[in-house]
Amino acid sequence: MVQNILMLPIPIQEKLLSKKGIQVLQSQSLGGGCIHNAQKVQTDKGIFFLKWNEDSAFSNFEREAKGLQLLASKSQFLIPSVHHLDKAQGYAFLLLDFIESKAPALAYWEDFGEKLADLHLHTNEAFGLDHDNFIGALEQSNAFRSSWAEFFIECRIQPKLKQAVDKGNIVPSLIATFDKLFTRLENWFPQEAPALLHGDLWGGNILVNREGFASIFDPAVYYGHREMELAFMTMFDRQPQSFYEAYQAQRPLESGWEQRLDLYNLYPLLVHVILFGNSYLGSVKRILDRFV
């Protein structure tokens, strides 16, 4: 029985059939996404995950696909494969593997720590990436920089500060406090080689797969400081000690890393200020009060 098929635009169905020979049998809307439409699609070729939006979202999907492919080539995590990226009469869409979710295995967190440490072993000569991408719906600059402090200031914090000021979410006087912070960052950040990061590794972009271990998706990849990745993970959650022990067994962290996490989280907090409003501004100010 065909269910909910009208929720999937006809031009997308027709493009899948003409380009990939995939006939949609039924589709089901999925929750959790705040930017794009997300659906579980059953076809004559199997079950897929489909993201779609207006065709202006094509560049967002294109960069997501490149990020997934980069992670798949470097990572031990199960990464959803990219099956098709296209436009269709006013729509843009991305067709991926559908990952069935199961209960976590007993060694879930230890395995997660080991695989994340392995991902961070992939390094680069400079911080950044050979192309820009997106953090959620916002553009993210990945211009290469030789130092992490320089990259963090110029490619992460300053662009988002400007956007927040332009939207009226941050008063210009707060910029002076950030300027004071910038003069001290070089002393706070440990010197490390740029590590390959997922870039947006919070709980909503992690799924327990059918083997009971973590799959990661919706990346905002670049080569950055690996403490940034751990900071993202702690914004809304706290991982068990077994995760950190497994991570450090392969990739030890510099002393004081836990105290620095809030500093890195100024970036995702500014993203949230821009996207969701001033309810996140108090956290930004508390971090500034602590480090300035």
Q: What CA dihedral angle connects 148, 149, 154 and 155, to 10 degrees?
A: 30
What's the rounded Cα separation, in Å, for the pair 234 and 239?
7
Cβ atoms of 37 and 53 within 8 Å: the answer is yes
**CA separation (Å) from 161 to 157, 175, 176, 281?**
6, 8, 11, 12
Please report, in angstroms and rounded to a whole number, the separation of the first and last CA atoms in the chain. Answer: 62
Range list of β-strands (E), the chain: 24-29, 37-43, 46-54, 82-88, 91-97, 133-135, 138-140, 195-197, 206-208, 214-216, 222-224
Which residue carries 């997922």 as its tokens? 198
What residues act catalytically?
Answer: 200
Q: Within the chain, how many helices (H) and strands (E) appear?
A: 12, 11
